């Protein structure tokens, strides 16, 4: 906070007027002007003493109605200031707000000590920021002198990316999609993954299920059973070269990508998937298994991510078994980079790009990606990117 002058504009004017009266008293030999000048000087000195001599102190506590403040969300802040002073001063209080939140955190200091001060804030920019300290600006009754004091410590507020509702992967399956969409046919995994059926002409004798045959009295063969693997992977590509150079200003494209990452991950959890959220270097940003703490942990991690580093091949990010939905969120990507994207057999590979260069979408589609351009309308981009087989409730694709 810039240091304020001891005197207000009115106080400076009173001093200048006193000096002019002193000069005039000497020029016109009028002692009365000298008395007026001395009176002004004494009033200014008295005002400074009244404002600056009293000792003031007291604890400041803050409560924010939401632990995590979402971008665009409003929250209430309650400030308790127990001022210790000989008298309650007349002044203006102000709680210092970071540029990441907006709100009117100022007002006239209440005359009854110990009351709570309340104001509303709205999340503007994600991140972890400090609110405070609380300052009290007091002025003497004549308006000649002023004093600004700061009280208490700061209070951290975490602004997390906005989460928008998205369309379901399948309108027919809805919340059960996590089980239905990621089922993959696996052969030769043992009897736990196989179910017997009656023998039909043409079946190989190697597939006869002898235990089931003995139990039922009819010739039975092993049948592949679809094994459920409700896993999804969301990858936020924060490779530095994909995004605008970071500075004091906000990159709207990267902010949209972070918001899309949070929205997609939480949406897939609602559809029944176990979701891993990684960045392009393989760093785990969150693992969502349906718990509230998992959600908060992901949002806090996404509140602090910045573009950095280089990317790894996507196939190396999952351990052997491809996920069901695989969502890659990236920035500026050209045709050459898109042609190198591999999804490793994911049943629903989805690519969201904030700045696709000519030919990028076509190159990605040749490898089976369903892609869309990502901007402010995250929900619209998600619907555009949904694979046709998923959006219509169709089956899965095994690669």
Q: What is the pLDDT of residues 88-120, one digit of tens each?
A: 777 899 999 998 999 999 998 876 656 688 999
Please determine, for residue 174, whether its predicted confidence score (pLDDT) is greater than 50: no
Specify the higher pLDDT residue, 276 or 190: 276
The pLDDT mean for the chain works out to: 83
Q: Could you give the dihedral angle defined by the CA atoms of residues 313, 316, 318 and 322, in that order, rounded to the nearest 10 degrees?
A: 80
Cα separation, 12 vs 291, whole angstroms? 62
Residue 201 has pLDDT above 90, yes or no: no
Q: What is the pLDDT of residue 206?
A: 67
Q: What is the arrangement of strands in the sheet containing 348-356, beginning at the earlier edge strand?
A: 284-288, 274-279, 231-236, 325-333, 348-356, 370-373
Token output for 31: 């002692």
Pick from 41-55, 221-235, 237-251 the range whose average pLDDT is largest: 41-55
At 256-286, the pLDDT tens digits run 999 999 999 999 999 989 999 999 999 999 9
> How far apart are alpha carbons 199 and 78 in whole angstroms?
74
Q: Are 42 and 51 in contact (CB under 8 A)?
A: no
Residue among 118, 105, 121 at smallest CA distance from 73: 121
Sheet strands (E) in 39-100: 60-64, 68-70, 74-81, 91-95
pLDDT of residue 246: 61
pLDDT tens profile 326-352: 999 999 999 999 999 988 888 889 999
Task: Go through 150-179 and write b for each residue having 16 or more CB atoms within 10 A of its CB, e for each that does not.
Answer: ebbebbebbbbbbbbebebbbeebeeebbb
pLDDT of 191 reads 39
Label residue 313 by pLDDT band (50, 70, 90).
confident
pLDDT above 70 as % of the chain: 83
What would the pLDDT profile of 282-293 be if each residue is shown by its tens digit?
999 999 987 878
């Amino acid at each position: 906070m810039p240091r304020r002058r001891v005197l207000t504009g009115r106080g400076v004017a009173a001093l200048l007027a006193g000096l002019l009266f002193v000069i005039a008293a000497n020029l016109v030999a009028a002692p009365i002007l000298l008395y007026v000048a001395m009176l002004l000087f004494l009033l200014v000195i008295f005002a400074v003493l009244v404002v600056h001599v009293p000792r003031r102190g007291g604890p400041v506590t803050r409560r924010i109605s939401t632990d995590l403040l979402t971008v665009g969300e409003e929250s209430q802040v309650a400030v308790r200031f127990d001022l210790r002073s000989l008298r309650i001063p007349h002044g203006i209080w102000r709680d210092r707000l970071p540029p990441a939140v907006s709100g009117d955190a100022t007002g006239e200091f209440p005359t009854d000590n110990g009351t709570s001060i309340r104001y509303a804030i709205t999340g503007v920019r994600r991140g972890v920021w400090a609110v405070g300290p609380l300052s009290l600006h007091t002025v003497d009754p004549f308006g000649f002198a002023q004093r600004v004091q700061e009280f208490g410590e700061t209070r951290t507020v975490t602004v997390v990316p906005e989460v928008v509702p998205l369309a379901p992967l399948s309108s027919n399956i809805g919340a059960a999609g996590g089980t239905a969409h990621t089922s993959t046919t696996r052969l030769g995994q043992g009897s736990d993954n196989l179910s017997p059926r009656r023998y039909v002409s043409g079946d190989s004798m190697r597939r006869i299920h002898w235990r089931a045959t003995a139990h039922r009295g009819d010739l039975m063969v092993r049948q592949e059973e679809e094994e459920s693997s409700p896993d999804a992977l969301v990858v936020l590509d924060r490779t530095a070269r994909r995004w605008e150079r970071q500075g004091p200003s906000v990159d709207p494209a990267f902010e949209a990508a972070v918001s899309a990452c949070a929205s997609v991950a939480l949406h897939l959890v609602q559809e029944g998937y176990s979701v891993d959220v990684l960045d392009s270097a393989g760093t785990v940003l969150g693992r969502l298994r349906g718990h509230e703490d998992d959600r908060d942990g992901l949002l806090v991690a996404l509140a602090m991510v910045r573009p950095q580093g280089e990317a790894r091949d996507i196939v190396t990010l999952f351990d052997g078994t491809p996920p069901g939905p695989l969502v890659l969120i990236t920035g500026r990507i050209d045709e050459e980079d898109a042609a190198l994207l591999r999804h490793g057999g994911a049943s629903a590979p989805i690519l969201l790009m904030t700045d696709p260069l000519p030919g990028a979408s076509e190159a990605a589609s040749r490898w089976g990606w369903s892609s869309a351009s990502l901007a402010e309308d995250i929900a619209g981009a998600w619907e555009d990117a949904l694979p046709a087989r998923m959006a219509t409730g169709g089956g899965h694709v095994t690669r």
